[in-house]
Copies of this chain bind each other. A is one copy, B any other.
Amino acid sequence: MTKTSSAKTNSGRFFEDYAVGDVLHHAVPRTVSGGERALYHALYPARHALYSSDEFARQSGLPKSPLDDLAAFHVVFGKTVPDVSLNAVANLGYAEGRWLLPVYEGDTLRSESEVIGVKQNSNGKSGVVYVRTRGLNQRDEVVMEYVRWVMVRKGDLDAPAPETVIPELNKIIPAEDLVIPEGLDFSDYDFGQAGEAHRWGDYQVGEMIDHVDGVTIEEAEHMLATRLWQNTAKVHFDATARPDGSRLIYGGHVISMARALSFNGLANAQMIVGLNGGAHANPCSSGMTVRAWSEVLGKAETSAPGVGAIRLRLVATSGAEPFTLKGDDGKYLPGVLLDLDYWALMPI
């Protein structure tokens, strides 16, 4: 019996492995249940009533509470990691994210990504890859989609640079392109049960909201979350993977934490339907106390009864003062962790 070392493990794709037009079918479909829903509530201070109460969801025209929109995003995103970002140097941005169908208990999600852009960096050692990712359910319906671009190392420095393709992306998703879940109706909305009285008409463009509360982050929690989404990037789990012995927290953990904290002031921003853009401004690690503030960036009417759309900037911080974002040099302040631009649905 001879012993031979095998090369069966996935070392991830490098920059030269991506070509515009490639479609990557990501592995490991996932069925979600009440367990994922309960865990989402244990991991984040999530209190939006539509996701907490089947009764509230039914009163809003849905069959029952869907999985939190960000949980659906994390499941779809997690599947892409082995194929898209295992050798990523940086997660550069998001655009054109849309939630197209609610995800319910018993649904099975899978993901696929189309390469829509590549650009080798001038140093010749890495490049930027743009992918449009779609999450699909067991009926092959697209439940969400988004564009992400990442900087990826080259594996073979001698590989020729591909022709540069940079996709044209909307800076902001036009309100008329947002998809409102079928049947959604806020005409009979119970503001008391939702937790706040402020309706769509009460928010002004330019208004800033300090969400006040903070959560000090623990290693065990972000690892539980990140594993739940089957995100395998080793920097999140392996304290020996980074020179300083710290674990880098999955950016999506910060998104969910900030969104949940934003309940206090935005309890009626119930459903997320669009992701216009987002930057993980600075890395997050355990021991930080995460806080959040929001800015109203826009408003739009929708065709659904009683439902308005609100465009929000959601900023997660650790140490930065509320409502401060960038320094005089135009760079994010060190205490800013996340700058996210999204569309949510609110009772008018």
| Total chain A interface residues with beta-carbon distance under 8 A | 90
Q: Enumerate the 4 nearest inter-chain pairs by beta-carbon distance, A residue then B residue, closest first.
A: A35-B38, A33-B34, A27-B195, A220-B220
Docked pose: A227 CA to B204 CA in angstroms? 31
Q: Could you list 11 further interchain pairs (A-B, Cβ under 8 angstroms) beyond the known A35-B38, A213-B238? A: A8-B266, A9-B210, A10-B196, A11-B212, A33-B35, A34-B38, A36-B38, A214-B240, A221-B224, A224-B224, A232-B264
- Which of A45-53, A95-103, A141-149, A158-166 lies at the interface with chain B? A45-53
Docked pose: A65 CA to B194 CA in angstroms? 29
| CB-contacts of A212-236 with B (<8 A) | 212-216, 218-221, 223-225, 227-228, 230, 232, 234
Docked pose: A106 CA to B64 CA in angstroms? 11
Docked pose: A36 CA to B52 CA in angstroms? 12
A334 proximal to B (CB < 8 A): no
A241 proximal to B (CB < 8 A): yes
Between A9, A215, A218, A267, the greatest number of chain B beta carbons within 10 A of the residue's beta carbon is seen for: A9
Question: Which B residues touch A32, using CB under 8 A?
Answer: 38
Q: Which residue on B lies nearest to A191, using beta carbons?
A: B27
| B228-A214 in contact (CB<8A) | no
Shortest A340–chain B CB gap in Å is 18
Q: Which residue on B lies nearest to A49, using beta carbons?
A: B28
A69 proximal to B (CB < 8 A): no
* Cross-interface CB contact of A29 among B29, B53, B234, cutoff 8 Å: B53
Q: Which residue on B lies nearest to A236, using beta carbons?
A: B215
A243 proximal to B (CB < 8 A): no
| B230-A10 in contact (CB<8A) | no
A92 proximal to B (CB < 8 A): no
Between A45, A65, A234, the greatest number of chain B beta carbons within 10 A of the residue's beta carbon is seen for: A45
Shortest A226–chain B CB gap in Å is 9
Question: Which B residues touch A25, using CB under 8 A?
Answer: 192-193
Q: Which residue on B lies nearest to A65, using beta carbons?
A: B31
A132 proximal to B (CB < 8 A): no
Docked pose: A29 CA to B45 CA in angstroms? 14
A331 proximal to B (CB < 8 A): no
| A223-B227 in contact (CB<8A) | no
Docked pose: A179 CA to B272 CA in angstroms? 43
Docked pose: A41 CA to B232 CA in angstroms? 12
A247 proximal to B (CB < 8 A): yes
| A213-B239 in contact (CB<8A) | no
| A192-B27 in contact (CB<8A) | yes
Question: Which B residues touch A138, using CB under 8 A?
Answer: 54-55
A89 proximal to B (CB < 8 A): no
Docked pose: A29 CA to B113 CA in angstroms? 37
A303 proximal to B (CB < 8 A): no
